[in-house]
Amino acid sequence: MNEYIIGLLLTYVAVLLALLTPGPNLMGILTTTLERGRAAGTLFGVGIAMGSLTWSILTVVGLTHFIASYDYVLWLIKLLGGAYLIYIGYKVFKASSEQEQINESLPAKKLSEFFVSGYLLMMTNPKSAFGWLAIASLSIYKDSPTWVAASVIGGTFILSFITHSSFALVFSCSGFLKVYNRCRRPLLKASSLIYCLLGVKLLMFS
């Protein structure tokens, strides 16, 4: 019993550290929140959390190991992930040249697109597959009881949901917005460059 509890705690710590590490997910929430408002950023974060939930379920049922075992499946994920990151980079660069104001009152249909964008960003990142294989190995053993797997899935989803929603809340504060309004174009162009470089890196090693 104690070994399972310790394993779960290690899993939660590993997930939290991964969530707090700067990367495409954090950058996506940052640019979406500052450019489109808190609601859009929150939904983008929820999409990422749902993607994390999907990967955790796939890992627990063994499909992530299957994906990692077949080169062509992993190659396809890397190809799609690289192309999607470059596409996001293009969209961000395009936004940097527009005089667009932050809008908290976008139509519901538009807001739903941010959820989809966050979900796709998470699901097309091959590092998520390998990351979940490593994370799951901290707490899920060959003869682990069902409640351990359920705790991994449920607990990591709650952590992801709270963390990404909190990012959107913090990034929408007036202090962030003032800095962003002064540095909007260079920040967006820098974000665009990083997205594209990450995408090219994925494509080069796919």
- What would the pLDDT profile of 148-161 be if each residue is shown by its tens digit? 888 989 999 999 99
As a whole number, mean pLDDT of residues 91-98 equals 75
- First and final C-alpha spacing in the chain: 41
Q: Rounded to the nearest 10 degrees, what angle do helices 126-136 and 146-171 cross at?
A: 130
Question: What does the pLDDT read at residue 142?
Answer: 66
Q: Is the pLDDT of residue 99 over 70?
A: no
Q: Which residue has the higher pLDDT, 135 or 28?
A: 28
**107 class by beta-carbon count within 10 Å (0-12 exposed, 13-18 middle, 19+ buried):** exposed
Query: What's the angle, vertex CA 165, arms to CA 51 and CA 96, rounded to 5?
Result: 85
Is residue 8 within 8 A of residue 143, CB to CB? The reply is no
> What is the Rg, in whole angstroms, of the alpha carbon atoms belonging to the chain?
18
Question: What does the pLDDT read at residue 106?
Answer: 46
**For the ranges 41-45, 60-64, 116-120, 158-162, which has the lowest average pLDDT?**
60-64
127-137 confidence digits (pLDDT tens): 777 777 777 77
149 CB-side CA count, 13 A: 15
Could you tell me which residues come within 8 angstroms of residue 183 by beta carbon, excluding any fewer than 6 positions away?
A: none
Report pTM: 0.76
Helix, strand and coil content of the chain, in percent to the nearest 5, comes to 85, 0, 15
Could you tell me which residues come within 8 angstroms of residue 186 by beta carbon, excluding any fewer than 6 positions away?
A: none
Q: Which residue has the higher pLDDT, 172 or 78?
A: 172
Tokens standing for residue 190:
């820098």
Question: What does the pLDDT read at residue 168?
Answer: 92
